[in-house]
C-alpha cells in the first residue's frame, strides 16, 4: 500500500507542467498590460504575484494565479500601538480611498480586457481563463503598516472586501519563511505541501466532508507547522505520514497548537478558535485514514 501511495505522491510533489506555467505567465502579462494602459493607475501600481504560485506550492492541474495590485501612492492602512494615533507618527489622513482605488483597477481591467472577461468579486476581480491563460484573481491592495512605538513598522498588504471585511496579509514574510523551510528540508517542504493539497482535492472530489472546508492556504499553513524533522525520510510517503501524524497529535488539544502561526509567522493560525482546531483535526485524521496510516 505505501509503495502505491509513494508513487502517486512522487507525481503530486512536482511543480505544474511547463504548459500550465506558460498559461499562468500569460495571465500575469495580460494583467500588467491592462494596468499599464490606464493613465489613472499605471504610475501608482506595483503588480506582483502572491499565493501558491509565488510560494511554489501550486498543484498540478489545479493552477490559477493570485495577483496583487499594490497602490504605491501616499495612502496606506496602519495599525498603531495601543494609546497612540496616526498624528503621533507624523501621518496625515488619506486623500485617496481604497474604494476609489478598487473601482479604478476594475475600470482599467474591463477597458483593456472587456467586461465579458472580468467579474468583480467581494475581494478581487476574476479575470477569466481562455485558451492561452489561466483564471486569475486580481486583488487591489494598500500597504498595511504595523507600527511599533519606535516608529518602525512591518510592511504587509490590506484589502477591504465589498462586504466590509478587513483582510491583512504578509506576502513577503510568507515567501521568505516558506523558502527558508524549503531550503532547510532539502526542498522537501514544498513538495510535501503540494502532496497534502492534492490529497485534500481528491478527498473533496470523492465527497469526504472533512476535506471541503480546508482550502489550499490553510493546508499550506498546517504543513508549515510540522517540524523539519518530518521531512527527513527516504520516501514521500514517509514524509507525509510523519507530517500528518505530528499534526494529529498536536491538534488533539488547543493547548498544544495554540501558538501555531500562518507561514508569515505574523498571524495566529487558530487565533484561539476551538472550532477551527476541530476542523483541522477532522481533516488530518480523515487524511490519515484515507492513506492507511490511522
pLDDT bin (cut points 50, 70, 90) of residue 20 is confident
- Model pLDDT, residue 30: 93
Average pLDDT, the chain: 94
137 in Cβ contact with 64 (< 8 Å): yes
pLDDT bin (cut points 50, 70, 90) of residue 56 is confident
User: ∠ at Cα 170 (99, 144), nearest 5°?
Assistant: 40
The answer, yes or no, to whether residue 260 has pLDDT greater than 90, is: yes
Q: Dihedral (C-alpha) 53, 54, 57, 62: value to the nearest 10 degrees?
A: -10
Residue in this structure with the C-alpha cell 462586504, named with its chain if needed? 163
200-225 mean pLDDT: 95
Task: Write down the pTM of the prediction.
Answer: 0.92
CB burial string 192-213: b at 16+ within 10 A, e below:
bbbbbbbbbbebbeeebebbee
Residue 217's Cα: distance from chain center in Å?
5
- Model pLDDT, residue 61: 64
Give me 162's grid cell.
Answer: 465589498
pLDDT bin (cut points 50, 70, 90) of residue 53 is confident
Q: How far is CA 101 from CA 70, 164, 238, in A?
A: 10, 15, 48
pLDDT by residue (tens digit) across 94-113?
Answer: 999 999 999 999 999 999 99
The answer, yes or no, to whether residue 1 has pLDDT greater than 60, is: no
- Model pLDDT, residue 278: 98
The answer, yes or no, to whether residue 246 has pLDDT greater than 90, is: yes
The answer, yes or no, to whether residue 274 has pLDDT greater than 80, is: yes
132 versus 188: which is more confidently predicted? 188
Q: How far apart are CA 113 and CA 201, in angstroms?
A: 31
The kind and range of the H/E element at 137 are strand 136-147
- Model pLDDT, residue 2: 78
- Model pLDDT, residue 100: 97
- Model pLDDT, residue 132: 81
pLDDT bin (cut points 50, 70, 90) of residue 62 is low
Q: How far is CA 43 from CA 46, 49, 150, in A?
A: 9, 18, 31
Q: How far is CA 230 from CA 27, 198, 219, 240, in A?
A: 36, 19, 16, 8
- Model pLDDT, residue 54: 84
280 in Cβ contact with 222 (< 8 Å): yes
Q: How far apart are CA 222 and CA 283, in angstroms?
A: 11
The answer, yes or no, to whether residue 60 has pLDDT greater than 80, is: no
Q: How far apart are CA 253 and CA 278, in angstroms?
A: 9
- Model pLDDT, residue 3: 80
261-273 mean pLDDT: 96
57-77 mean pLDDT: 87
203-231 mean pLDDT: 96
134-146 mean pLDDT: 95
Strand partners, 139: 68
Q: How many helices (H) and strands (E) does the chain have?
A: 10, 8
The kind and range of the H/E element at 107 are helix 98-113
> 204: Cβ–Cβ under 8 A, 6 or more apart, which residues?
211, 212
58-79 mean pLDDT: 88
268 in Cβ contact with 261 (< 8 Å): yes
Amino acid at each position: 500500500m505505501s509503495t502505491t501511495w509513494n508513487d502517486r505522491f512522487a507525481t503530486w510533489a512536482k511543480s505544474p507542467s511547463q504548459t500550465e506555467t506558460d498559461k499562468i505567465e500569460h495571465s500575469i502579462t495580460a494583467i500588467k498590460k491592462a494596468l499599464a494602459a490606464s493613465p489613472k493607475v499605471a504610475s501608482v501600481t506595483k503588480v506582483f504575484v502572491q499565493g501558491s504560485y509565488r510560494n511554489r506550492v501550486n498543484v498540478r492541474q489545479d493552477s490559477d494565479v493570485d495577483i496583487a495590485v499594490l497602490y504605491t501612492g501616499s495612502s496606506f492602512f496602519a495599525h498603531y500601538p495601543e494609546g497612540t494615533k496616526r498624528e503621533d507618527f507624523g501621518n496625515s489622513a488619506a486623500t485617496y480611498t481604497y474604494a476609489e482605488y478598487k473601482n479604478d483597477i476594475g475600470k482599467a481591467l474591463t477597458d483593456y480586457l472587456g467586461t465579458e472577461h472580468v467579474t468583480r468579486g467581494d475581494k478581487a476581480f476574476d479575470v477569466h481563463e481562455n485558451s492561452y491563460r489561466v483564471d486569475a484573481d486580481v486583488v487591489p491592495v494598500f500597504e498595511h503598516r504595523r507600527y511599533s512605538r519606535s516608529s518602525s513598522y512591518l510592511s504587509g498588504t490590506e484589502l477591504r472586501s465589498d462586504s466590509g471585511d478587513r483582510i491583512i496579509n504578509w506576502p513577503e514574510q510568507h515567501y521568505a519563511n516558506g523558502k527558508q523551510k524549503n531550503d532547510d528540508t532539502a526542498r522537501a517542504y514544498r513538495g510535501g505541501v503540494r502532496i497534502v493539497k492534492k490529497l485534500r482535492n481528491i478527498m473533496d472530489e470523492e465527497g469526504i466532508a472533512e476535506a471541503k472546508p480546508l482550502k489550499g492556504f490553510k493546508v499550506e499553513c498546517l504543513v508549515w507547522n510540522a517540524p523539519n524533522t518530518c521531512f527527513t525520510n527516504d520516501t514521500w510517503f514517509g514524509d507525509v505520514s510523519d507530517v500528518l501524524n505530528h499534526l494529529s497529535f498536536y491538534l488533539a488539544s488547543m493547548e498544544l497548537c495554540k501558538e501555531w502561526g500562518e507561514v508569515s509567522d505574523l498571524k495566529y493560525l487558530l487565533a484561539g478558535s476551538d472550532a477551527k482546531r476541530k476542523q483541522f483535526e477532522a481533516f488530518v485524521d480523515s487524511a490519515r485514514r484515507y492513506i492507511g496510516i490511522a
